[in-house]
Amino acid sequence: MKTTILKGVHIGNNVIIGANSLVNKDIPDNCVVAGNPAKVIMSLEQYYEKRKKAQLDEATELVQLYRERYGTEPDDKSLHEFFWLFCDGQDELPECWEHMQKLVGNEGQTKKVFSKHKKMFVSKNDFLNYVK
């Protein structure tokens, strides 16, 4: 979004560029860059690990707030953004989670990546117990 990339700059493969960045020099593969001028913030692997932790924290907060508000456990639909925490390619997914895999229109690629995914929790109940 409104990033400026100067002429002659080479951007490597698998790069995330932050919004409003000014890219004025070559960017290597597999990294996250941002700023004016843009600089490497972290590797893509570091970003991936950071996002996994952040999503676990977000899912935990959602469960806690859901319990406080409704006095019960969240259902599958309420946890639809976080199903990957306790599902992997071996699991049969509820319809609402299958729907999440179809949103972007690249369901085949999503299923291929998901088939290699390793879940963090054995089951949804295991995750809900972790939050307690």
CATH value at residue 34 = 2.160.10.10
How many domains does the chain contain in total? 2
**pLDDT per residue as tens digits for the range 57-95:** 999 999 999 999 999 999 988 998 898 898 887 877 778
State the pLDDT at residue 85: 92
Whole-angstrom distance, CA of residue 69 vs CA of residue 65:
6
Whole-angstrom distance, CA of residue 63 vs CA of residue 132:
9
Question: Model-level pTM?
Answer: 0.74
Torsion of CA 35, 38, 40, 43, to 10 degrees: 80
Domain housing 38? 4-45
State the pLDDT at residue 101: 73
**Which parts of the chain sit beneath pLDDT 70?**
none
Q: How far from the centroid of its chain's Cα atoms is residue 77's Cα?
A: 18
Q: At what angle do helices 95-102 and 107-115 cross, to 10 degrees?
A: 120
Both 88 and 127 in one domain: the answer is yes
